[in-house]
Structure 1
Amino acid sequence: MDKNSLVNKYARNDDEKVGFAHLFDLAERSQNRNIVTSGNFFSESESVSASAMLKEAGIDSFFYGGYENAERRCPVFLPDYYIKEDIINDPTLAEIKFLTYSVDSYFTDAALSHRDVLGSLMALGIERCTVGDIICNKGEGTIIVRETIAPFLVENLVKIGRYPVEIKSYDNLKIEKTEDFEEHFDTVASLRLDSVVASFFSLSRSTATDKITSGLVTVNGVVTVKNSALVKEGDRIALRGQGRAELEKIDGLSKKGRTRLLFKKYK
C-alpha cells in the first residue's frame, strides 16, 4: 500500500492526514542523512494510529514523551547506531525540553490546574502540537515541550492564571507523575461500551451512544466507534472533554442481575 493510501486508512481527519503524511518525510530524512529526526507531539490515540501506520509501512519508529507512560508523545526515527535508550537518556536528541514553573511561596493558596497552564500557553500563541504532557502539583509543575519553543516560554510565560511564575528549562528531568482519582461503584446492564461509558461519565445511554459513534471515546488509546464493544478489567476509557476512567474490577452480579463495577475516575 502506498503512502497516501496508508495515511487515508489511519487518519481520521484532515489534521491527522497532514501530521501522518509528515512522518514519512521524517523517516526518509533520518534514513538519507543517517540522523535522528523527530516530530511534534501526538495525542495518545494519534500515537497509536500513527504507530500502526508506520508498522504497516515497514518503517521503524517509536514514540516518546519525556518519561514512561507519557500520554502525549513525539514520533522519533533513529539511524542504526542509536537505540531507544539513547533518547531516554538524552531527550534533546529528539528535540524535547522540560520546563518547570513555580509560583512564589507568598501565594500560599496557589493551585494551578492543567487547564490554567494550557490556557496560558494558548494565550501566548503556542500551538498545542508543540506541547506534551503538563504535570501539575498545586503551585508548581512541569511542562514538556518541543525544543523550538522553550526559549520563548522561558522569556514570556511570566504568569499562569492570576499568579506570576518563574520558568526554568532543563534538558532532562525525572518525572514522577501521580494521578488523583476517586473510586466509584456502579451497576450496568452489560459490559457493552455504551453501557460502561454511560456509567463512568454519568450520561444517558443514548448520549453515550452518540459520543461513541462520533469518535469521541478511546479505549486504551484507540478510538472505538462500536457501541457493542465489550469492556474488560484494566481497560482505560477516555471521553473527549469529560475526562478518563479505568475499569478496576468486575465484581459479579447484583440481585437484579446487573453487573457490578468498581472503577477509577481520574480528576
Structure 2
Amino acid sequence: MSIYEHFRDDEKPFIDAVFGWQDFVISRYAPKCTDFLDPRQQEILNLIIGQHGEVRTYFCGGFEAAERKRALLVPEYFHVRQEDFGLTLFELQYPKKFAKITHREMLGALTGLGLVRDKFGDLLFKDDRVQFVAAQEIADFVLTHLTHVGNVKVSCKEMPLSDILHIENHWEEAVGTVSSLRLDAVLSEIYNLSRTKIAQYIQSGKVKVNWKPVEKTAYELAPGDNLSVRGLGRSRLFAVEGVTRKGKQRIRYGRLIS
C-alpha cells in the first residue's frame, strides 16, 4: 500500500518534499530547517517521520501555542537549540493613537514585499501591539523594506524571542448533525447558513480548508480539518461522533472566538 493513499491528492507535493528533506538529512548527516508550516503540514511531517529512526523532527514558532512553526529535521543524537530554527521577532512601530492595523492588512503588507507566506510565522495582536515572526534569512530585507501597512507609516523593531506576545486560541464548541461531510454541508451547520449561501462563499474563493483555497462544494472533509470563511471567521471540525437513527452524522466542531 502506498503512503499516498493515507492522504489527500493535494497533499502529495508536500509529502514528496518531506521525503526530500529526510533524504537530505540522512545523506549529508546535517540538519534541515524548513519554512514555516501550518498545523496540517506539521501533522503530516510527524506522521511520516516522527521522533524515531535516523531522522528526528522538532518544531518551533517562537512560543508553545504558536500555530505556524518551522520544523527542524536532524540526525539522531543532534542537540537542538532554539537558535537553530532561525526565527526573528519583530514588533511594529506606528502611530497607535491615530491608526489601527488589522491582521489582513498586516499580512497583505508582508506578502506585498514579494515574499511568500511560508517565510512568516504567526502574526500577533494584543491591544495596540503588533508582532510577527519571520525567517531569519529575510529579516534584513523586512527591516529595510517594510515601511507601510496600508496607509499607515510603520517601522520594525527586532525583539528578543523572550518578549513575544503569548496568544492562545479559544474555541466555542458545539455538536450538530449533517447529511454528509461535504464542505457545504458542514459549513452550513457551523455558520447556520443555507447551503445555497455557503455555496456562494465557496465558489467565489472565500473558503479555505487547512489554509488552502477550496472552491468545490462537494469537497470531503475529515476530522481535524481547519476551516475559514472570509468575513465569517475560522472554525474546526473536531470529530465525527457517530450516526443518528436517521443516518445523519453527528459532528463536534468549534468556532474561533479569540
TM-score, normalization: structure 1? 0.67
Higher normalized strand content (fraction of residues): 2
Match of 2:90 among 99, 102, 106: 99
Q: How far has the Cα of 1:134 moved from its partner?
A: 0.8
Q: How far has the Cα of 1:147 moved from its partner?
A: 1.2
Q: How far has the Cα of 1:201 moved from its partner?
A: 2.3
Q: How far has the Cα of 1:204 moved from its partner?
A: 1.9
Match of 2:38 among 39, 43, 51: 43
CA-based RMSD of the aligned residues comes to 4.3
Q: How far has the Cα of 1:126 moved from its partner?
A: 0.9
TM alignment of 1:6-85, pairs within 5 A: 6=3, 10=7, 12-13=9-10, 17=13, 19-55=14-50, 59-82=55-78
Distance 1:34 1:172 in 2: 28
Q: How far has the Cα of 1:32 moved from its partner?
A: 4.0
Are 1:121 and 1:157, in contact at CA under 8 Å, matched by a contact in 2? yes
Structure 1 portions without partners, runs of 5+: 219-223, 249-258
Cα deviation, 1:150-181, whole Å, max 9, x if unaligned, reads 11001111111221222122452344114577
Aligned length: 233
Residue type matched to 2:59 in 1? F
Q: Work out the percentage of aligned pairs sharing the same amino acid.
A: 19
Distance 1:25 1:161 in 2: 38
- After superposition, the Cα gap between the structure-2 partners of 1:171 and 1:161, relative to the gap in structure 1 and judged at 3 Å, is same
Are 1:65 and 1:71, in contact at CA under 8 Å, matched by a contact in 2? yes
2:257 — aligned with what? 266
TM-score, normalization: structure 2? 0.69
Secondary structure of the equivalent of 2:122?
Answer: strand
Distance 1:192 1:246 in 2: 16
1:111 — aligned with what? 100
Structure 2 portions without partners, runs of 5+: 211-217, 239-249
Q: How far has the Cα of 1:237 moved from its partner?
A: 4.7
- After superposition, the Cα gap between the structure-2 partners of 1:217 and 1:22, relative to the gap in structure 1 and judged at 3 Å, is closer
Secondary structure of the equivalent of 2:109?
Answer: helix
1:200 — aligned with what? 190
Q: Which runs of 4+ in 1 moved over 6 A?
A: none
Distance 2:150 2:111 in 1: 12
Secondary structure of the equivalent of 2:155?
Answer: strand
1:253 — aligned with what? none
